[in-house]
Amino acid sequence: MTDILLVVNAGSSSLKFQVYRLPTATSLAFAYGGQISGIGGLEPTFRVKAENGAILVDDAVPSIDAADLRLAQDLLLSWLRRKIDRAPIAVGHRIVHGGPRYAQSVILDDEVLGELETLAPLAPLHQHNNLAPVRVIRALWPHVRQVACFDTAFHKGHSQVVQRFAIPQYLHEQGIRRYGFHGLSYDYIAQRLRHDWPEVARGRVIVAHLGAGASACAMIDGRSVDSTMGFTALDGLPMSTRPGRLDPGVVLWMLKQGYTPEQVQHLLYNESGLKGLSGLSGDIRDLLASASGAAKLAVDYFIYRVAESLAGLCVASRGLDALVFTAGIGENSPVIRAGICEQLSWMGITIDAASNVADACCISASNSAIAVYVLATNEEVVIARQTLDRITE
């Protein structure tokens, strides 16, 4: 019977998974995958698709059964135990923060797990959630190897100039530096470009990963040379509920006004960004559908700051041959893509309106000086490949 490999990607409000068959010891074949979304919300859902696109599950979930990640894990694992007849050969996990130590994926043991737990303050929305399924799977399948795949690892080759903050050396030695995130997504896009557009991949590319969390990455020959996110996932582009780049004096001011560190953290991670600007929602779809002035401000702010940051990354890439949009907003919002490209029209970017509305792979006009692509990301397949690499070493 064919072995299987399980991938788990636990976020702040969703639990994604994919199951792969292993026809040989070194090959992967997607079997099925899906997610429980809306965890903690009023209308959570559980959806699963097979390799041929057939819908295996498309159910509304009682909110009480997905009130938190633990309950969602129980729901998913209960379904998986009915679906598969034996333990997977390995389980790969997306882990947002690998800290200064981990430059590649690693098999999870007690030491590694403990070290990763200490990094939770650097990614409070994600790290505990990423690690929670590890313990659940340990209890269910104690002998199954589990692998941590890091969002920070893709950016490990950054130069000292890019990586450092202008702070004393002893703080840098304690790990305060610019890490960069969304690396699994950028890794997938780099691989996709190498496969489908090798000449583009060898050049100067900026990828805009625009979703609830948002960042951008400059690449040369498929390798990260700079990214908008830094020490934590708060930095860089404005996001759904996070502010992005922020004068640290604002935090000092809040502390002097009597805010506790916990209150500051909650405000910056949960009440800022598009939600804070609009006073309505952190979901770009809600803002685009709204007639309110505050919603328009939030959309305009997002477009402007993303364009500004993309232009800034051109210093690291020493110019630009191609721009790639990916993730939820990047893949699905023609309005946002058009707005960003309009802000960058001075660079010679021109998009084809019909291709943009159709979410085509290439949306740049024939006379555009810079190619513009829209590519769906797939962090889970990168996790699967890295996991297979670790267990077959």
Residues labelled catalytic: 151
Do the Cβ atoms of 152 and 122 come closer than 8 Å? no
Residue type, 258: G
Strands (E), the chain: 3-10, 14-22, 29-37, 45-50, 55-60, 90-95, 106-107, 145-150, 204-210, 214-220, 223-227, 322-326, 371-374
* R_g of the chain, CA atoms, integer Å: 21
Q: What is the largest CA-CA distance in the chain?
A: 64
Residue type, 363: I
317/218 Cα distance (integer angstroms): 6
Instruction: Find, among 5, 2, 3, 1, the residue nearest to 384 by Cα.
Output: 5
Instruction: Find, among 312, 317, 382, 391, the residue nearest to 149 by Cα.
Output: 382
For residue 312, the tally of other CB atoms under 10 A from its CB is 14
341/349 Cα distance (integer angstroms): 6
DSSP string, 179-240: ----HHHHHHHHHHHHHH-HHHHTSEEEEEEESSSEEEEEEETTEEEEES--SSTTSSS--S
